[in-house]
Structure 1
Amino acid sequence: MIDMIEKEETMISEEEAAQYDRQIRLWGLDAQKRLRASRVLLAGLGGLGAEIAKNLILAGVKGLTLLDHKQVSEESCRAQFLVPVSSQGQNRAQASLERAQNLNPMVEVHADPSAIQDKPDDFFLQFDAVVLTGCPRDLLLRLDLLCSQHSIKVFCGDVYGYYGYMFTNLGSQYHYVEEKPKVVKPSGDSADGPESKKTKVDPNETTMVKKVASFCSLKQALEVDWTSDQAKAALKKTPVDYFLLQVLLKFRTDKGRDPDPISFEEDSQTLRQIRDDLLEALCVSPSLLSDHCLSFCFSELSPVCAVVGGVLGQEVVKALSQRDAPHRNFFFFDACKGNGVVDYFGPN
């Protein structure tokens, strides 16, 4: 059964119906009502965070809280279109507020300049979905566990140069509906021959099918035992981006930041050392990740932010509206593969 969100002001006004007319036609009024009743926390207002914020605000969530304690830098102005160039030195969440709110006055947008690490557990329980960008691995694991225990949808994502990823955890029992072509049962009249008894699909009519999906935790997804027979069999179809993410998260933990173009040579050497040590510890060959591959994960690139932010934002919308099949669990984007190749990896 699809869980209906029962909250204040779930009714759609005439003004909102006009504003979201295209979306209501696309996924239905009930889905838009569920979206309209949802509050989302977005942590990290870099280039990726700006793209996600834009997509959620335009989709019409009830409220969006922008959480970021960092200041606007010259680099962030290149990839982050919500902050004015003149706002360097200001808090990124607060500097993004005006342009974010102007995207859709019907959405309550709030800016919180606090550090996410300083927030108590109760702070996160007021949201229907939590989107985490720019967070260290231990914090991602802690919040993923906390939110899943309280049926809060969790999304993680980041962009590293030409690479980007998204992870989704919607819980062990996520209910949604999917639109399928209507199946027409045979009439039972044998006069027309065997063909008349076959089940047919009517392309002009559709029906809503209720489905359930199960998601693993972030801890399970990251801490795979690659010595097991099942994991060894899955290794060939596992994108190398999965192991690159492990390296980049370890770099962030050790350095307290992401690889910086200003210290390219030093950071490249550190990345290579982390790769060798980490993949060896995972019993996976370090040759999976070439030095060339590691050289393209510096800084946030606007086009990559747009792609990953578009996918991540749409997944949040689908999850909150409970409409259409979600990704399970990882989405990887690699702009080095021609025009960009999308890889999926969902550990069971």
Structure 2
Amino acid sequence: MSEKALSAVEAELYDRQIRLWGIESQEKLRAANVLLINCRQLGCEIAKNILLSGINSLTILDDAVVTEEDEIRNFFLSSDAIGKKLAEAVLQKAQSLNPLVKLTADTQNPSEKDVEFYKSFTIIITTIIKTDLLLKLDKICRSNNVKLISGDVFGMFGFSVADFLKHDYYEDRVQMLGKKRSHDGSEKSTVQVEGLIEYPELNKVLIFPNTKQSVEAIKKTRRRNELFFLMLVLLEFRNENARNPEITSKEEDIQKLKIIKNSIVELYKVKENVFEDALFELIFGEVVPVCAILGGVIAQEVIKAVSHKEVPINNIFLLDPVTYNGKEECIGA
């Protein structure tokens, strides 16, 4: 990727964040071409944050038609958008956040896109897609050096999973100069520390019943948060039903979730109460404040992945639906 030098207008617009993460990181962001698959409640939060960061281009790929619920929860939409293609309807308000970013709408079904389409991006962000498409995308990304992050919100629960390939980064660390004060009274200096994280491919992270992939590596992981298994149950529900659990069929869907939970427990050989069934009461809908939190986290990880500054999450982020604490898990490595 070739970084683009910032213009005087860009340097002025992005002055505050350049002070935060440096002009070198901002130039990397300025060269980044980002694809966002699906721009619903979580997607619009992600889009807002990465548009403001100053990327080169954002393509929104979404074949949905705007519903009344979308219009209420998506701040990029107005009442006259109902019935229109969502990807096109969000453009005007999204573009107003940052006129310097090239913003494009694509209304084709993501599963119908060919490999060439996906190869042109620096990083791909997905929300609300089935796992088979996500794993297919991950293979394409790995073959073409494109980074990938996926996230979802189920009620009060949110998570993200990333494959940033072989990711090198640097971070600024403060180091003490010693006991003796320097001439200006300072006892500290800042140094750059380099690091490297090798992310596992997602078919070693997201493994479900009735697949040929082995779970032995994950079973050997010493610390597996209970919410990791909740994430698998919810993703498998979508895989089997082509939708998320819905409040209109709450009781029926909870029974389906319990059956899937039992199959996950059997696959991973964990205790039956690996998480309490009461959590199923908290996973309906896309709760807007949760979307805002997770959207900020995912956008932050995109900025880290593109700029190569600061340590990214390796490789799963879990937002606890009870305590609202964020937890990082390394799975499949």
In structure 1, how many angstroms separate the alpha carbons of the residues matched to 2:261 and 2:161?
Answer: 21
Letter of the 2:254 counterpart: S
Q: Which residue of 1 aligns with 2:110?
A: 116
What's the CA shift for 1:112? 0.6
Larger radius of gyration: 1
Tell me how far 1:277 sits from its aligned partner: 2.2
The answer to whether the aligner puts 1:333 opposite 2:319 as a matched pair is yes
Q: CA deviation at 1:262?
A: 1.4
1:30 aligned partner:
24
Give, in whole Å, the separation in 1 of the partners of 2:187 and 2:318: 33
Q: 1:293 aligns with which of 259, 274, 279?
A: 279
How far residue 85 of structure 1 moved from its aligned partner, in angstroms, is 2.8
TM-score of the aligned structures, taking structure 2 as reference length: 0.92
* Structure 1 contact 275–289 (Cα < 8 Å) conserved: no
Unpaired runs of at least 5, structure 1 = 187-194, 197-201
- Distance in 2 (CA, whole Å) between partners of 1:240 and 1:121 is 35
Q: Matches of 1:255 and 1:231 in 2, distance apart?
A: 27
Deviation at 1:325, TM superposition (A): 0.8
* 1:43 aligned residue: 37
1:231 aligns with 2:219: yes
Equivalent position SS for 1:243: helix
Q: Which residue of 1 aligns with 2:305?
A: 319
Q: 2:176, 2:187 within 8 Å by CA — same for their partners in 1?
A: no
Which residue pairs with 2:168 in the alignment? 175
Q: How does 1:36-185 map to 2 (within 5 A)?
A: 36-171=30-165, 173-182=166-175, 184=177
- 1:328 positional shift: 0.2
> In the aligned structure 2, how far is the partner of 1:319 from the partner of 1:301?
27
Aligned residue in 2 for 1:305: 291
Change beyond 3 A, Cα 1:67–1:231: same
Give the 3-state SS of the residue equivalent to 1:179 in structure 2.
Answer: strand
Contact 2:160/2:318 (CA < 8 Å) preserved in 1?
yes
Matched position secondary structure for 2:273: helix
Q: d(CA) in 2 for partners of 1:247 and 1:114?
A: 28
Q: Helix, strand or coil: the match of 1:298? A: coil
Q: Is the 8 A contact 1:227 1:283 kept in 2?
A: no
Q: Secondary structure at the match of 1:158?
A: strand
Cα distance, 1:49 vs structure 2 = 0.2
5+ residue gaps, structure 2, are: 181-185, 208-212
Instruction: Give the C-alpha shift of residue 314 in structure 1.
Output: 0.6
**What is the aligned-residue RMSD (CA, Å)?**
1.9
CA positional deviation for 1:79: 2.8
Distance 1:130 1:227 in 2: 29
TM-score by length of 1: 0.88
Instruction: Please state how far the C-alpha of 1:167 moved relative to its aligned partner.
Output: 1.0
- Give 1:225 deviation, angstroms: 5.5
Percent identical pairs in the alignment equals 34
Query: In structure 2, do the counterparts of structure 1 residues 204 and 296 end up closer, same or farther at CA, with 3 Å as the change threshold?
Result: same
Q: Counterpart of 1:41 in structure 2: which amino acid?
A: L
User: Distance between the aligned counterparts of 1:233 and 1:119, measured in 2?
Assistant: 36
Matched-pair contact (CA < 8 Å) for 1:79–1:301: no
**Structure 1 residue 316 displacement after superposition:** 0.1
